[in-house]
Amino acid sequence: MPETPPFNIVLVEPEIPPNTGNIARLCAATGTVLHLVEPLGFSIDDRQLKRAGLDYWGSVTLKVWQRLEQVWQEFPRGRFFYLSTKAGRSYLAADFRPGDFIVFGKETKGLPAEILEWNSETAITIPMPANAVRSLNLSTSAGIVLYEALRQAGQIV
């Protein structure tokens, strides 16, 4: 029986070490691969980053890339979903499958507009019914969407 491919979280130019550390811990808990696209707003050796990930870093499959294009080139058959507050389709409408890539932009600006334009059919958002905030925290968003993907894939009950 073939092994189920892991999901992938891609953080494009993350800026805040504790967010990335929390997401690393999430990835360790779920067997998800964490991809970081440079430039990073911190060093991989950052104390806050390590602290947020606790002692789970040894359980994280971490890949660091210089550009998002390298990820696309390395995984030409990959299915990529792009999270943005500007997307018109809810993440709940997405059809996630094992091996998919869930891509998030930097905390202060999100993903570049051209990436969202080129990939409008796979751009998704987390609805915020109260409209009281511009966006959710990056690590919160990653957890919400990843657990929905895992649920759809039957990897959690």
Establish whether 124 is an annotated binding residue: no
Q: Is 51 helix (H, G, I), strand (E, B) or coil?
A: helix
Establish whether 126 is an annotated binding residue: yes
C-alpha 152: how far from its chain's center?
A: 17
CA atoms within 13 A on the CB side of 156: 10
DSSP conformation class of 68: H
Establish whether 138 is an annotated binding residue: no
CA proximity to 68, closest of 35, 21, 33, 109: 35
Establish whether 40 is an annotated binding residue: no
Identity of residue 93: A
Annotated binding site: which residue ranges?
83, 105, 126, 135
Q: Which residues are annotated as a binding site for S-adenosyl-L-methionine?
A: 83, 105, 126, 135
